[in-house]
Amino acid sequence: MRVLVVEDDPELGPVVAARLREAGFAVDLARTLAEADLKLSVNGYDCVVADRSVPDGDSLTLLAAHRRKGSALPFLLLTALDSVSDRVAGFEHGADDYLVKPFAFAELVVRVRALCRREQPARLPVLRAGDLEMDLPRRRVSRAGVLLSLSAKEFAVLEVLLLRAGQVVTRTELIESCWDEASEPMSNVVDVLIGQLRRRLGPPDPIGTVRGAGYRLEGTDPDGTDQGRAAEART
């Protein structure tokens, strides 16, 4: 999931971006409305976290402009403006959530994750492919009943592969979903991460390489038989 943070504070902005990255989000940082508008025009985001006051204006201007265009992209306003009238103005301009400074980073992460999920198609909480299971609410992954320890980035990549199990996912699609502008898309960052993920998952390898295209997650039974099943949700 990719998030745009609009924050001009030279200390807070990078910290917010870093904390969200630690939670598994791909994060881009903009310090002005103009920079944010440009990033929104060229990148796909699942959520925007915007400080109300930035050097070239009020983020409500950016929010209102995108709502007029018909955009339903979730916006969370992150600000020190905490009066009732300020909050009402934010919601009247189309904000989805409002978090007042100072705030707890744990709460910010939970709110951002909820907004990102809202923008995506409805899904049940557990994704499965063969003997792989991903519990989204608890952020746990197991294989053949054994709990695995994955990094935030490994979890994000595996989630994309599970959602598209049986289908080819290109390197570009993985980068756009799981990395941000701080990454090096022309490097082998995806291949390295896939290698790490394969080692975490163990044999038999459920991730196939489609030469010249990308990767495909196949449903794998315990006896190693590839079933090619799409990920399914289990109640």
Number of domains in the chain: 2
Among 45-49, 82-86, 204-208, which is the least confidently predicted range?
A: 82-86
* pTM for this predicted structure: 0.63
115 in the same domain as 36: yes
Is the pLDDT assigned to residue 231 strictly greater than 70? no
181 in the same domain as 136: yes
**189-218 pLDDT, tens per residue?**
888 999 999 999 999 999 999 988 899 998
Of the candidates 212, 231, 211, 114, the one whose C-alpha atom is nearest the C-alpha of residue 167 is: 231
Residues paired with 51 in a beta bridge: 78
Helices 105-119 and 12-22 meet at what angle, rounded to 10? Answer: 60
134 in the same domain as 58: no
Range of the domain at 178: 126-233
What is the reported pLDDT for 20?
93
Given 103, 119, 135, the domain boundary residue is 119
154 in the same domain as 107: no
Query: In the structure encoding, which two tokens stand for residue 208, read together?
Result: 């196939």
159 in the same domain as 50: no
134 in the same domain as 92: no
218 in the same domain as 158: yes
What is the reported pLDDT for 126?
85
Query: In the structure encoding, which two tokens stand for residue 212, read together?
Result: 């010249």
Provide CB contacts within 8 A for 188, sequence distance 6+.
none
Domain holding 109: CATH number?
Answer: 3.40.50.2300
113 in the same domain as 147: no
Average pLDDT score over residue span 134-154: 89
Of the candidates 11, 45, 52, the one whose C-alpha atom is nearest the C-alpha of residue 28 is: 45
160 in the same domain as 77: no
**Residue 32 exposure: Cα atoms within 13 Å on the Cβ side:** 5
Torsion of CA 199, 139, 13, 176, to 10 degrees: 60
